[in-house]
Amino acid sequence: MNYLVNAVKFSIKNWMLILPLFILTALASLIGGVGSAANLTAITGLLAGNTDPSSLFAAIPALLTSIIGGGTVAFIIPFIYMPATYGLVNKSLETGNATLNDIGASISNNFVKYIIYFVGLIVVYLVCGIPTLLLLLLFSWLTTVIGGLGILLLGIIILALVVVFIVLSVLLSLWFSAMVIDGLDVVAAAKKSIEVVKGFFWTILGITVIVAIAASIISAIIGFLGAIPLLGPILISVVPTAQTFLMIVFSIMVYRERTGRINAA
């Protein structure tokens, strides 16, 4: 729990470092919010029997732009805020001093690393996902052959796969931290993450769950703010931003301390 407390203290003390992450997250949320509004307007018009061709055709560009634009922005922004945030946090912990002026250097130093890390994640998901899909298809077929027993086996398999996925996610939770802090290649960083996490598994899992639950509760409480035009999506971005930043700080702190480094901040 000391790691979580220290991560919270660091986040409060260095709140300026959250700004790039917040701005980009709010931008994606804003575009998504506008997209949702456009979708709702178009669908409502159809359900209401709006057959005016000019109205329907006028809604199509906004609808397509919001869907494509929102999805594209949501996909792209992690390639900016992840290298920037990891770089800023690590520099602050290493030197005791990091400002927004260091954003350019952080992105430059970690952008390619994040792309390689992202590709590595895709490979892991494919290697694990394809056999998983085949296994589920097999047991789904068995349910039609042996009935209730097949359903029971399918349920057990799904539960086991969920557990495996959670364990794998926790073991690789320090993957990008290892690439940023130690400059390791993607394979060596994955191995290092597993090595560091193995003796600290339950603490990382527990804090991850605690932060996720707290963020979900707060998001549910302030969810009504999302209805405010334009400003709403920005306001509700505060919680996921804080959650993401806190977990980045936590991950870097854990990796640095578990590999013998002294955090300066």
Residues 124 and 171 sit within 8 Å (Cβ to Cβ)? no
pTM more than 0.85: no
pLDDT per position as a tens digit, 145-170: 666 666 777 777 778 888 888 999 99
**Does the pLDDT of residue 254 top 50, yes or no?**
yes
Q: How far apart (Å, rounded) are the C-alpha atoms in residues 192 and 180?
A: 12
Q: How far apart (Å, rounded) are the C-alpha atoms in residues 119 and 73?
A: 19
pLDDT per position as a tens digit, 104-126: 999 999 999 999 999 999 999 88
Please provide the size of the chain in residues.
265
List of residues 6+ apart from 84 with CB closer than 8 A: 20, 21, 103, 106, 107, 110
Domain boundaries along the sequence of the chain: 2-258
Predicted local distance difference test score (pLDDT) of residue 35 = 45
